[in-house]
A and B are shown apart, each in its own frame.
Chain A
Amino acid sequence: MVNNLRKTDCIVTILVALVAGCSSTTVIDAHVTKPALIDSQDAVVVLGRRSSIEQEIERDFIKCVGKNLSKHAENFYVVPEETFVDGMYPYFENSTAPLDIRDLGKLVKIPEVIQKLQEFKVRYFIWIVGFTERTDENGAMSCAVGPGGGGCFGFATWSDEASYEAHIWDLENLQITAKVSAETQGTSYMPAIFVPIPLLARVQSSACQGMAKQIQTVFR
């Protein structure tokens, strides 16, 4: 009886340790050149920089930052990326989008462009670059099915790393308002005794929430 209790305690302790261990850590860094002044008539647009051949920023991440900004934004509207890029076609495609403030300055001299930006009421651009990648994988798991049923046994663990940087451009003054970076690391575990139990570290989601929260503080 005592032995059984000790075994149960031991399993519970291991699971608690794993759940605690699968959390992620996020480091946010921000450099604000000038507080962004925004009023209720203004909008911001969150855009992914997709000029790299190998890595592509996840559309989900851009949506996540936009959604989190919208959730807490009382004084401005967030234009969805797809709506904006389609509306501005062909000026904000991967191969034609302005790479710096100087490019943006040239772009706003085109009457159609400035008219459309005014329709969108865009005051700030938030350009995000980065990605989430798997940095380590360990362990093994095997699953089998027999006449009496099936099950999985083993233990797998993996680490993810997210690294993103956001540049906030002020359209009115044609200058960089702020730069915000988010670095998140996390390890996930999946023990399996008959049934796999995924204990996931939400790395990308943590980076998104951390970045959105920090961007929010830039706007007044």
Chain B
Amino acid sequence: MLTLLPVLIISACSNSLSFEATTEMPVPLATPMPATVGIYYPEGFSDYVYRENTDDRKNWDIQTGASQTAVFDRLLSSMFDHTVHIEDLNQPDRQLDGIFSPELVTMQFAMPKETSTDIYEAWVKYDLRLFDSTGLLLAKWLITGYGKTSTEFHSNPVDGLNHAIGLAFRDAGSKLLLGFRANVEVQTWLAATGIACDNGADGCRP
């Protein structure tokens, strides 16, 4: 299990919230495909902080960058034999079979008192893009994730929200893993590179 130690800072103001999200992502049950892919995290992804300062959510500061980076690292490394991090998408590596780049579209939360329920909720939406080794965009699709947890299991809002975020990441991950091959452009890429194709087809990798 991948565990990131939490840094929890709860300020004196009751509505304010500041913490670093932690995610326990299991090792996916998957057979890696015979390919070497690059992972490119756009600027602001790995150090993303959700910030909000409204009457109901004073000084909200939720650091999710490290967690979401760890999640995609784990997911993609379970899907492919080899993964490498790419620092610059404009200088692609021709040895790669493809480059994946996730971008956070939105992250939303709901607190029990806001919805008059006893659950903490979190939503995440990512725009996932696949480029070829020259940086040409091949495919683009959305992945959403939802997580909820009851107040009954958590002694404070930080704990509850952190758990809901972790479940949302996990849900998004399961959709990436199970929905990946359903994308038509991805299927074309897998066949064209010989990563996954009908047994016996020309150029198909073992």
Using a CB–CB cutoff of 8 Å, the interface residues on chain A facing chain B are 53-54, 56, 58-59, 86-91, 93-96, 111-113, 116
| Complex contacts, A94 vs chain B, CB 8 Å | 167, 171
Secondary structure at the A interface, as helix, strand, loop or mixed, is loop
Question: Which of B31, B148, B178 sits near A90, CB closer than 8 Å?
Answer: B178
Give the interface size class of chain B: 20 to 34
* Beta-carbon contact of A87 and B174 below 8 Å: no
Compute the total of residue contacts between A and B using a CB distance below 8 Å. Answer: 47
Question: Which of A87, A90, A111 sits near B177, CB closer than 8 Å?
Answer: A90
| Complex contacts, B167 vs chain A, CB 8 Å | 94
A-B residue pairs in contact (CB < 8 Å), sample of 9: A53-B148, A88-B29, A89-B27, A90-B170, A90-B178, A91-B178, A93-B170, A93-B174, A96-B174
* Nearest-Cβ distance from residue B151 to partner chain A, whole angstroms: 11
| Complex contacts, B178 vs chain A, CB 8 Å | 90-91, 96
Give the distance in Å from the alpha carbon of A89 to the alpha carbon of B78 in the complex.
Answer: 11
* Nearest-Cβ distance from residue A27 to partner chain B, whole angstroms: 24
* Beta-carbon contact of A54 and B150 below 8 Å: no
Give the distance in Å from the alpha carbon of A58 to the alpha carbon of B149 in the complex.
Answer: 10
Give the distance in Å from the alpha carbon of A59 to the alpha carbon of B149 in the complex.
Answer: 10
| Complex contacts, B31 vs chain A, CB 8 Å | 111-112
Using a CB–CB cutoff of 8 Å, the interface residues on chain B facing chain A are 1, 26-31, 117, 119, 146, 148-150, 152-153, 167, 170-171, 173-175, 177-178
Give the distance in Å from the alpha carbon of A89 to the alpha carbon of B173 in the complex.
Answer: 9
Question: Which of B30, B119, B153, B171 sits near A93, CB closer than 8 Å?
Answer: B171
* Beta-carbon contact of A90 and B117 below 8 Å: no
| Complex contacts, B149 vs chain A, CB 8 Å | 56
* Beta-carbon contact of B150 and A89 below 8 Å: no
Question: Which of B1, B152, B171 sits near A86, CB closer than 8 Å?
Answer: B1
* Beta-carbon contact of A112 and B29 below 8 Å: yes
| Complex contacts, A116 vs chain B, CB 8 Å | 29
Beyond the given pairs A90-B178, A91-B29, A95-B146, 9 more chain A to chain B contacts, judged by CB atoms under 8 angstroms and listed by A's residue number, are A53-B148, A56-B148, A56-B150, A86-B26, A90-B28, A93-B170, A94-B167, A112-B31, A116-B29
* Nearest-Cβ distance from residue B100 to partner chain A, whole angstroms: 17
* Nearest-Cβ distance from residue A199 to partner chain B, whole angstroms: 22
Find the A residue at minimum CB distance from B75.
A90
Q: Which 3 A-B pairs have the closest CB atoms?
A: A90-B174, A86-B26, A89-B26
